[in-house]
Amino acid sequence: MGRRRDCAGDSKTGLESPLPVRIITDDEHYSIVIEEQVLHAEQSIVIATANVKDLHVKRRGRYRSILVEFQALVERGVSIRILHGAPPSRPFLESLEKRPGLSTNSRFEMMYCPRTHFKMVLVDGGFLYVGSANFTGAGLGVKNRTRRNHEAGIVTRQPDLIRTYADYFETIWSTSLCEGCGRRDVCY
């Protein structure tokens, strides 16, 4: 194995290739996307997912809802946007309800668009994940290997790819595609 480096050529995400993208699979989703990036965001997190569930993370030896971490992040000034294609799960909503400081914070926003099926996580405008994993425990969460989905995706710091996906997300977020969608009656 060669020297480990990320998309920008350092060792933070363990990327083993100088190419601008790296394919990740299965539990690498949690370690690279969640542990190394999302939980250390400094400015922003942008998430697109077909499903949003109460994903759990391991912090200080305990498992807890990612919403605990999101609340701490927004209190530090990080903005979080979640675009989702299905109503959030009941456990996610119950966990969110326990955190009024998160749900009422203007830096935490969620938008339902039933046509959303793509999956992406963009952290601080400089790290992008695109792949099959939804924002769920079985997709991006800490679940053990016998309980998680088989997932594949790419991570990159390549500016052109990031810009393309960020622009696509923003097109949907801005509701400019809503006119004539045919599903607008179910959006909220």
Residue 56 φ then ψ, to 5°:
-110, 150
pLDDT of residue 12: 52
Query: Is 28 within the bounds of a domain?
Result: yes
Residue 77 φ then ψ, to 5°:
100, 5
**pLDDT tens figures, 90-106:** 999 999 999 999 989 99
* Euclidean distance between CA atoms 29 and 5, whole angstroms: 17
pLDDT of residue 141: 83
**Number of separate domains in the chain:** 1
Residue in 139, 141, 130, 136 with CA at minimum distance from that of residue 23: 130
pLDDT of residue 148: 81
CA distances from 172 to 26, 113, 125 (A): 28, 8, 17
Query: Is 184 within the bounds of a domain?
Result: no
Question: By residue range, what is the domain housing residue 133?
Answer: 22-176
Please say if the pLDDT value at position 20 is more than 90: no
Query: Is 13 within the bounds of a domain?
Result: no
Residue 27 is part of a domain; what is its CATH number? 3.30.870.10
Q: For residue 103, give the 3-state DSSP assignment.
A: helix
Q: Model-level pTM?
A: 0.86
